[in-house]
Amino acid sequence: MGRCCFVSCIFSIKLVVTMLRFFLLFAFTFSAIAATPVPSDLTASKQLSSDTKLQALAFDRYWLKLNHYRAATRSAWKTEIDTPDFFLSSQAKTDPLAELLATVSAFRKQGLSEYQELVCRFPARFLWLNEKLGEEWPSAICDEMKMWRDSIQPQGLTLVFPTAFMNNPSSMFGHTLLRVDAKDQTRNKALVAFAVNFAALPDNSDDAATYALKGLAGQYPGAYSLMPYYEKVKEYSDLESRDMWEYKLNLTEKEVNNVLIHLWELKDARFDYFFIDENCSYQLLSLLQVAREGLELSSQFDYHVIPSDTVAVLRDAGLLNTPEYRPSSGTRLLHYSKQLTDQELTASKAVMLGYFPDDSFTIDSKVKIYEMAYEWLNYRFYDERLLREKMAPLLTKILIARSQLRIKSVFTPIPEPIISPEQGHGSARLGLGLVGLDKADNVISISGRLNYHDLFDAPGGFIPGAQISFFDTELRINDSADVELTRLYLMDALSLPVDNTVFDSWSWNARVGMDRQPGINKLEQRWFGQTGYGKAWGAANKLHSYALFSGELVGGDISYRGLEVGAGIETGAIWQANPTNRIGVQLNHMYLIDSDVEFHTKANLTWHWTADRDFAVRSEVGYLNWRSEEMYAQLTGFYYF
What is 424-640's CATH superfamily? monomeric porin ompg (2.40.160.40)
The confidence band for 274, taking pLDDT boundaries of 50, 70 and 90, is: confident
Highest mean pLDDT out of 34-38, 40-44, 180-184: 180-184
Average pLDDT over residues 361-373: 96
Lowest mean pLDDT among 41-55, 196-210, 321-335: 41-55
- Radius of gyration for the alpha carbons in the chain, expressed in angstroms and rounded: 32
Q: For position 299, what pLDDT does the model report?
A: 87
The pLDDT tens digits of the residues spanning 569-624 come to 999 999 999 999 999 999 999 999 989 999 999 999 999 999 999 999 999 999 99
pLDDT at 51 over 50: yes
The enclosing H or E element of 225 equals strand 220-228
| CA atoms within a 13 Å half-sphere pointing along the CA-CB vector of 324 | 11
pLDDT value, residue 25:
33
* Burial environment of residue 361 by CB neighbours within 10 A (0 to 12, 13 to 18, 19 or more): middle
Range 41-46, long-range pairs (CB < 8 A, 24+ positions) = 41/105, 44/105, 45/101, 45/102, 45/105
| Structure confidence at residue 220 (pLDDT) | 86
Local confidence band at 169 (pLDDT 50, 70, 90 cut-offs): low
More confident residue, 489 or 500: 489
User: Does pLDDT of 184 surpass 50?
Assistant: yes
Other beta carbons within 10 angstroms of residue 517's beta carbon come to 23
For residue 359, give every residue at least 6 positions away whose Cβ sits within 8 Å of its Cβ, in sequence order, or none: none
CA torsion angle for 375, 379, 382, 387 (degrees, to 10)? Answer: -70
* First-last CA distance in the chain: 76
Q: Report pLDDT for 541.
A: 87
Q: What is the pLDDT of residue 61?
A: 96
pLDDT-based confidence at 37, cuts 50/70/90?
very low
Q: Return mean pLDDT, the chain.
A: 88
pLDDT band at 172 (very low <50, low <70, confident <90, very high): confident
Range of lowest pLDDT (33-37, 230-234, 391-395, 521-525) = 33-37
Per-residue pLDDT band at 30 (split at 50, 70, 90): very low
**pLDDT by residue (tens digit) across 134-164?**
888 988 889 999 999 988 889 999 999 999 8
Give pTM, 2 decimals.
Answer: 0.83
- For residue 523, CA distances in Å to 374, 552, 558 come to 57, 20, 9
Model pLDDT, residue 135: 85
- pLDDT the model gives residue 49: 59
DSSP of 487-528, one letter per residue?
EEEEEEEEE-PPP-SS----EEEEEEEEEEEE-SSSEEEEEE
Task: State pLDDT tens for residues 282-311.
Answer: 999 999 999 999 999 998 887 678 888 889
pLDDT single digits (tens) 201-258? 887 777 766 777 777 777 889 999 999 999 999 888 888 889 999 999 999 999 999 9
Q: Identify the helix (H) or strand (E) that includes residue 24.
A: helix 2-35
Q: According to the model, what pLDDT value does residue 65 have?
A: 97
CA angle 360, 361, 362 (to 5 degrees): 120
Q: Per DSSP, what are the bridge partners of residue 491?
A: 470, 512
Burial of 132 (0-12, 13-18, 19+ CB in 10 A): middle
Averaged pLDDT, 327-355 = 95
Phi, psi (degrees; rounded to nearest 5) at 175: -155, 160
Q: CA angle 487-492-496, nearest 5°?
A: 140
Helix 253-265 to helix 143-152 angle (10° resolution) is 130
Q: Where do the domains of the chain lie? A: 40-141, 148-324, 340-403, 424-640
pLDDT digits (tens, 9 = 90+) for 444-459: 999 999 888 999 999 9
Average pLDDT over residues 13-28: 36
Segment holding 359, helix H or strand E:
none
At residue 234, the 3 state secondary structure works out as helix
258 versus 2: the higher-pLDDT residue is: 258
